[in-house]
Structure formats: C-alpha cells, structure tokens
Amino acid sequence: MSVIPDGRSEAIDWFTNRLAAWQADPSAIGLTPELINDLATAAADASSARQTAEQAKFVKLAASQAYRNKADAMRTIGVGLVQQIRGYAKATGDESVFSTALLPDPARPEPTPAPGTPYDFGIELRQDGSVELSFKCDNPGNVAGVTYDVSRQDDPQGEFEYLLTAGERRFTDATVPAGTAVATYRVQARRSTQTGDPALFSVRFGVGGNGQAMAEAA
C-alpha cells in the first residue's frame, strides 16, 4: 500500500511536512538539492492553488446564497402582483385581463357528479312490528354528505308519501298501517341540490307457518 495519501490536499501536506528533513541532508537519502528544490517549488505552487480554490469555493457559496435570496425576494414581489392582477380581474369581471397579463385563465371547478342509485335491498321484520331495510349505493368517490330520502306507497294505485331522510344506508319504518299486504319503498340518494335516480323496493307482509308476522321482498 502506498504511503503517499491519494487525496491531493493530503498529499500536499504530506510532502510539505517532509521538505525540511529532506533538505537538511539530501545525500543521506539519495537525493540532490536540485531535486528537492523542484519538489519544494511544486509543493508551494500546489499549496497556493489549493488556497485559491478554497477561496473561490467560499466566493461561489456566497454568490449562490445571494442568488437564492434575490430570487426569493423577486418571487415574493411577483406573487403579490399576480394576486393583485387576479383580484382586479375578479372585481371588474374582465377575464381578458388574464391574457393581457400572460396568465392562464382561472381553473373552473368541475361539477360534482350526482350520487348513485340504491340497490341490493335487505329486509328484517322486528318483534315490535317495525321493518328495518338496508341497501347499498355506489356514490362517486368525491361525493360526500349523501343522505337518502325515503317514501312509501301503501296502495299500488296510491301516491308515495315521504317518510324520512336517512343518513345511513339503512332505515327503520315503524309506521306501516296494520293489514298492509304490500308496501313499496322509494329510496333516492341526495346531496345538496343533486339527486340520484330513485330505486323501488316492494315488501310483502304476511303470516308464517308458525303464526308469526313476516315480511319478504315482493
């Protein structure tokens, strides 16, 4: 393994630290004063170049920091001006301001899609005679705050009457008139002023083999 360091800076220090000893008695180590003087000159030149390079590095770092500071200051001022241009365009209602200022037109928010349509209904008749219905509804991913308007039709020829607005995909109806044979539920998803397509689900009421009341999909 070489005793001389591989790094340039380390090699400069390594030879510089040995020059005095080598110059004291060149012949004792098989060298001549001329050879050692050549090394001393080369070491001095290398050390001076290293110092110049280090100074340039610090100058470069300072210049880079000054560049970043000035660019950030420009951005701060420029952002304020762009905001002022946009505010002026909004206040005047003149969208040509954007093209005049070489700015893109403001992004238009895309309309929120309507909620989905309920499907896959399930039914359960409780001991107190109320009916619990559940269902699924696939709403678009960015649609939130969906509720479900529920209406019921007790007479096949009658009108649907509003019952409730469910916040979940299930609801309980405890108002089915006694003796109702078939009730049809209409469930419609709603979000703000948008509604999805309504879904109909009919429930047939009767008495099971054990004499208990029962309900099933009609």
Domain boundaries, the chain: 8-90, 119-217
More confident residue, 199 or 181: 199
Task: State pLDDT tens for residues 187-199.
Answer: 999 998 889 999 9
Asked whether the predicted pLDDT for residue 201 surpasses 50, the reply is: yes
- pLDDT at residue 1 is higher than 80: no
Q: What is the mean pLDDT of residues 138-151?
A: 88
Q: What pLDDT digit, counting tens, does each position of 96-111 carry? A: 999 999 999 988 877 8
Mean pLDDT of all residues in the chain? Answer: 89
pLDDT above 70: residue 214: no
- The pLDDT value recorded for residue 209 is 53
Report, as an integer, the average pLDDT of 43-64: 93
Q: For position 211, what pLDDT does the model report?
A: 46
- Mean pLDDT computed over 47-75: 93
Domain 119-217 grouped into CATH 2.60.120.10: no
CA distance 48 to 156: 103
pLDDT at 212 over 60: no
* pLDDT band at residue 155 using 50, 70 and 90 as cut-offs: confident
In the block, residue with structure tokens 């390079």? 53
- pLDDT of res. 113: 87
Q: Write out the two tokens for 101.
A: 């200022």
Q: What was the pLDDT predicted at 206? A: 77
As a whole number of angstroms, the distance between CA 15 and CA 24 comes to: 15
DSSP at 113: P
- pLDDT tens digit string along 8-39? 999 999 999 999 999 999 999 999 999 999 99
pLDDT of 210 above 70: no
- Dist CA 96 CA 84 (whole Å): 15
The Cα 43–Cα 45 span in angstroms is: 5
**Contact in structure between 19 and 40 (CB atoms under 8 Å):** yes
Decide if pLDDT at 139 tops 70.
Answer: yes
DSSP 3-state of 81: helix
Per-residue model confidence as pLDDT tens digits over 44-53: 999 999 999 9
Which token pair is 211?
């004499």
